[in-house]
Chains A and B, each alone.
Chain A
């Protein structure tokens, strides 16, 4: 009986050891897979948390082209060779109908719908020193505190830009609107004339237009007409023997 007990015990021990080793192997490989995924997730979160950008200015180059300044306000360097993975979604209206479209990054483009980099600034001066940017061929990094001047072009007949979203590879977004709160200036109705047409670049019909004569024109009346998204007209009831200068503010 002693020999059979020994054999049974040996079998049981082998069985237990095999089972435990399988369990350990399984647990280790499971942990390995999960820890790899967690590391990747944490890395992405870290990057996303430290990545920030901000629009600091914009201007129209022509009716279809816009220049924007965007500053890297985060703590990460963004590689220019990844810019084709950036998203640029621009909203504009044409004939009153708003349209949003995703624009491709194309540094060599000069026609069609595209966005590209114009130049880089650091500390208010053109150029950068850290991971210097070269536009042809595209290389370098957009480092913290550097400002990129980008060009956005939409091949529509007369787009009125209203909004733009820029998103990095990690989905960190910055956006800006293109609506000026107001615009002001002066206009002159020359001697013998009864009106002057004033152009504004608000890109919308102003909600309010204020006009103030610079000199005494109590001999006649004045008013504003034809207010639209491009301009308005300042009228006089009758022509004056002097140039009538008006200050205006459209908002």
Chain B
């Protein structure tokens, strides 16, 4: 009888330890999934709140183009994040990735109707794309892609 109680106790302790270990592993995994899921939802929400619209684009000189892009979403984008956007530009069907550059060849931006350094809803940004070669007459394509993959594109032409 006594040996039965002892063996019952040993089994009980073993079961408790095993269940505790399993619980810890399970809960840790679930917490990881929870965090990933929340992060994913937040990113998706951010993306849905981000919206941009290219208002117009024209060539301002033989080697530069001005593009006006409006923030039509509710996401507030700081200037430091705008620099992480992607700009694709070039002749129709021959566009390429343009590097961000505050000086010389590349793209740069200025917030036009903003009181601070954040790009907020309704505010417009003037992008200047400077090319190394003179822009020839023809059809052109420009695409502005935000840091989180929201984009708008615009087709325009440059006359002779």
Contacts and interface: CB of A to CB of B under 8 A. Distances in A.
A155 interface: no
A30 B49 contact: no
Interface of A: 1, 3-4, 7-8, 11-12, 14-15, 18-19, 22-23, 25-27, 29-31, 33-34, 36-38, 40-41, 44, 48, 82, 84-85, 87, 89, 91, 98-100, 102, 104-105, 165, 167, 169-171, 173
Contacts of A170: 72, 122
Contacts of B53: 171
Contacts of A30: 37-38, 40-41
A115 to B, nearest CB: 12
B102 interface: no
B19 A15 contact: yes
A41 B49 contact: yes
Contacts of B58: 91, 98, 100
A34 B34 contact: no
B55 A89 contact: yes
A72 B54 CA distance: 22
Decide if the interface of chain B is mainly helix, strand, loop or mixed: helix
Nearest to B36: A26
A185 to B, nearest CB: 31
A84 to B, nearest CB: 6
Query: How large, as a class, is the contact surface on chain B?
Result: 35 or more
Interface of B: 8, 11-12, 14-16, 18-20, 22-23, 26-27, 30-31, 33-34, 37-38, 40-42, 44-49, 51, 53, 55-56, 58, 60, 66, 68, 70, 72-74, 112-113, 121-124, 126
17 contacts: A4-B15, A11-B16, A11-B20, A22-B27, A29-B38, A33-B45, A34-B41, A37-B44, A38-B48, A40-B49, A44-B72, A85-B122, A87-B70, A102-B68, A102-B126, A167-B55, A171-B72
Given A34-B41, A37-B49, A104-B112, A26 B34 contact: yes
A116 to B, nearest CB: 14
A213 B82 CA distance: 64
B33 A36 contact: no
